[in-house]
Amino acid sequence: MQHLPSELQILIYFIASCLILGMLLYYRVRTSRHRLFNSILLLTFSCLGLYSAQLLESYNLSSAAKAVHETFMVVLGFALIRYWGMLIFQLIAPLFRLNPPRILEDLLEAIAMLGWGFYRLHLAGLELGQLVTTSAVITAVLAFAMQDTLGNILAGLALHLDNSIEQGDWIKLGELTGRVVDLSWRATRVETRNGETVMIPNGMLMKGQFQLLGKRVDKPLAWRRWVWFEVGLDTLPTQVMLLIENAIREAAPPNVAQDPPPSCLLMNVEKGNARYAARYWLTDLQNDDPTDSQIRTLIDAVLRRNSLRLAAPQYKVFVTQENERYFEGRHKQHTQERLAVLQKLELLASLKEEELHTLADRLRFTPYVAGDVMIRQGEKVEWLYILIKGEAEAWVQPTRGERKLFAKLGPGSFFGEMGLMTGEAIRATVVVSTNVECYRIDKESFQQILLSRPELAGVFSEVLVKRQAEEQILLNDDSSIIPPVARSEILARLQHFIGLNRGA
């Protein structure tokens, strides 16, 4: 044992350097302070053991000194392997932007400890062949007794090798949702949003199905969230969806991605209400509920600003007594709104107030969504269409050649007058560009007014001739697309179609 003093001296220098590196590790990696403290204690304990072996040697207790020395050399090797494993994997590797999983660190440390143990046993005089034979039997027994543990180890390796789960991923397993903070040899540690730490055996992840939240191929982390709400059926779904989409896009709440953009969809109609879903992409998965709450608050605010409210489930029981004053006021308001639209139309400028009131009561509210075809070229439609919101396009299909854009229609535009008053086939196809709201007037409404005032036929025919001239200008005077009709013929068709000449 004459080598003990020099060996101990070298060991002291080595441990001193380890302590210096340990201080760096202590300040750089907060999560490993407990393991670092245990490793330092084990190193200190090993040094004391080796020093005790030297004392035993000084008292001529060579056998005891050798046994103590070999024992604490094994313990010292284990402590140093663990210590240097922490230094390499948690201090040095991050400097090179490497983030190896915990299970790889544990596995390599276990292999190194096993090799160190075999090496010390070989130095003690134990033949390696006998050791391998004996250890093979022991390994078989341990493998049978620890098959669940080995299954978790192999499952952890498989999860790591195919990158199924990485540290920082958000996973959902059944009712559990949380962020992966560690992948060890036995289990995957997950922290929930409630501050709970859940240990999930690796074997369970391999055998079962789990979800990786917000993780997409070659795209930034984002998780689509659904915020459900209900609005009464008296409001057009196109209006509600447009309001919500614009509000979320303009507000740009934190943690809400602008690409893909937020959207609002009508998902169902149930319990007396329209059920909507506001969908957005969450970029910070830690703040799911707070961001959902912010979106709900935003929805409620924009609805209130537009005289709308979030609706609760409705159950109609027909035992209420109608309030005549309420319905009269509501009807009067709707009539005034419709009169304001009719009074702006050149076609109806010659009508009296009571005649406009008659038409206002006969107007039919008709909404369309983008892409709808309102009328088709060649069809016979006995309606006058009046746009009040949205935009549409009128397309003409010549006998030869490609179709042409005839006109763009907006609020205040009207069309279908020739079909309504003369029975002529529709001259253009009108396609909705954006969501459209319009009124329609049927043939019978005009027929009643013209029968009471036949002189209006001449006035209407002049307006139709003027509209026809405007159409020719838009078509660059190409009469082959929409052939013009003389005023006298228009008047005759109008009188015949409405029935003014039946009594003659």
Q: How far is CA 19 from the centre of its chain?
A: 49
Quick check: 499 and 451 in contact, CB under 8 A? Answer: yes
Q: What is the pLDDT of residue 2?
A: 46
Indicate if the pLDDT at residue 179 is higher than 80. Answer: yes
CB burial readout 309-347, b (16+ within 10 A) else e = eebeeeeeeeeeeeeeeeeeeeeeeeeeebbebbeebeb
Name which residue leads in pLDDT, 433 or 446.
Answer: 433
What DSSP character marks residue 89? I
Quick check: 439 and 364 in contact, CB under 8 A? Answer: yes
Confidence of residue 437 (pLDDT cuts 50, 70, 90): very high
| Same domain, residue pair 206 and 229 | no
Report if residue 379 sits inside a domain: yes
Please, which residues bridge with residue 431 across strands? 373, 393
Q: Is 232 helix (H, G, I), strand (E, B) or coil?
A: strand
Indicate if the pLDDT at residue 273 is higher than 60. Answer: yes
| Same domain, residue pair 192 and 57 | no
The CB-side HSE value for 319 (13 A sphere, CA atoms) comes to 2
The CB-side HSE value for 117 (13 A sphere, CA atoms) comes to 12
| Same domain, residue pair 148 and 172 | no
Q: Which of 74-88, 321-335, 481-495 is the most confident on average?
A: 74-88
> Which of 4-8, 315-319, 356-360, 458-462 bottoms out in mean pLDDT, i.e. has the lowest?
4-8
Look-up: residue for tokens 């036949």? 454
| Same domain, residue pair 275 and 190 | no
Last residue of a domain, one of 160, 177, 197: 160
Q: What is the pLDDT of residue 504?
A: 44
What number is the average pLDDT over the span 300-329? 75
Last residue of a domain, one of 160, 176, 201: 160
The Cβ of residue 386 has, within 10 Å, a number of other Cβ atoms equal to: 25
| Same domain, residue pair 380 and 464 | yes
CATH of the domain at 420: 2.60.120.10
The per-residue DSSP string of 247-286 comes to HHHHH--TTB-SSSPPEEEEEEEETTEEEEEEEEEES-GG
CATH of the domain at 231: 3.30.70.100
Question: What total number of domains does the chain contain?
Answer: 4
| Same domain, residue pair 80 and 130 | yes
Percent of the chain with pLDDT over 90: 23
Indicate if the pLDDT at residue 3 is higher than 50. Answer: no
Report if residue 321 sits inside a domain: no
What number is the average pLDDT over the span 166-176? 88
| Same domain, residue pair 347 and 465 | yes
| Same domain, residue pair 128 and 198 | no
Range of the domain at 234: 223-305
What number is the average pLDDT over the span 437-447? 88
Q: What is the pLDDT of residue 234?
A: 86
Distance CA 155, CA 210 (A): 14
* Two structure tokens written together for 280: 């957005």
Last residue of a domain, one of 305, 323, 354: 305
pLDDT in tens, 25-56: 666 666 666 677 777 777 777 778 777 877 88
